[in-house]
Amino acid sequence: MTRLSVNINKVATLRNARGENNPDVVKFALDCEAFGAEGITVHPRPDERHIRRSDVADLKKVLSTEFNIEGYPSEDFLRLVESTRPAQATLVPDAPGQLTSDSGWDVIANMELLKGICARLKQAGVRVSIFVAADPAQVRAAAEAGADRVELYTKPYADLYPSDPERAVAPFVEASIAARDAGLGLNAGHDLSLVNLAYFHRALPHLDEVSIGHALICDALYLGIRETIARYLDCLK
């Protein structure tokens, strides 16, 4: 079964716009769990423009599903993960001021860096996922670096899907086979939506988890969060 992890960054962005606690990020996360989400994802950035370090600590105290913290593995980020001990840390290659993730790691070029980070976080009891493009060579390199999983960067799939779904998903099928052969778990995320998720899921039968934030929160503006989560879960059946 593929788990749905809801990325709640956009909820924190809305809260921060007024400087108060509306919407309440922790309550929203708990509601997502109550409505069927099997995980919560956050991506704290150095400027705390959405998720704050205090949010991470508050969420850890109350979540009952898998907690996934993603981010660039700076020393501050690594210490946050070590102190929080989520189920999973997802390493992304984002620059500090980057608007959103727009590429996967070149794991081959950063092998020694990522090996050290994977070993450090696994020693803390945290499962490690590395964010990569749908490239079998990079998937195999992630296994060599000591990752437990890879998360496939799915924007290229989402961009091509409307015009050619079969060609859009083909590299991801190949990458998923490489992950299975390397003994890695498989996650995916970025621009997955109600439009393209079911097709992607059918094509990748060994998919462990999808992490979805922006599209899901946008859908919730029209459908409500309970109905939105139900529809995303339907895509993963």
Is 70 tagged catalytic? yes
Burial of residue 61 (CB within 10 Å: 0-12, 13-18, 19+) is: exposed
| Residue 141, both tokens | 């390199």
Catalytic residue among 33, 151, 190, 209: 190
Is 43 tagged catalytic? yes
Catalytic residue among 33, 43, 50, 209: 43
Question: What radius of gyration, in Å, describes the C-alpha atoms of the chain?
Answer: 17
Is 206 tagged catalytic? no
DSSP 236: T
Cα–Cα distances in Å, from 138 out to 26, 40, 107, 197? 35, 26, 6, 23
CA angle 207, 196, 139 (to 5 degrees): 35
Strands (DSSP E) contained in 50-176 are 66-71, 88-91, 127-132, 149-153
For residues 17 and 54, give the distance between their C-alpha atoms in angstroms, rounded to a whole number.
17
Catalytic residue among 33, 70, 151, 209: 70
- For residues 28 and 34, the answer to whether their CB atoms sit within 8 Å is no
CA angle 82, 14, 233 (to 5 degrees): 70
Please list the active-site residues: 43, 70, 190
